[in-house]
Amino acid sequence: MDLTEFIERSIGRWRSQRSGHHLAFSHFEEIRSTIDIVALEADDSAVIDICKLYDIAE
């Protein structure tokens, strides 16, 4: 699998879960999130702005 295929397969809605244990404080933390991954066109203003910010040629 190349990078393009990986990104294409990642597009969609994903559920994420992580947990943390703080033994010193006897505290347990569980966080659940929904992540939406969408494709952007190369000429999208957000893409252009990020490329400019990091000095990446268009």
pLDDT of the residue at 58: 65
For residue 53, CA distances in Å to 10, 16, 47, 49, 57 come to 25, 29, 10, 6, 11
Which residue segment(s) compose the domain that 27 sits in? Answer: 3-53
Please give the Cα distance from 10 to 16 (Å, whole number).
13
3-class DSSP assignment, residue 51: helix
Residue 45 in domain: yes
**Statement: residue 22 has pLDDT above 90:** no
Structurally, the chain folds into a number of domains equal to 1
Residue 58 in domain: no
Report which secondary-structure segment, H or E, holds 7: helix 3-10
Closest CA to 1 of 48, 10, 45, 44: 10
Residue 24 in domain: yes
The pTM of the full predicted model, rounded to 2 decimals, is 0.62
Residue 7 in domain: yes
pLDDT of the residue at 27: 87
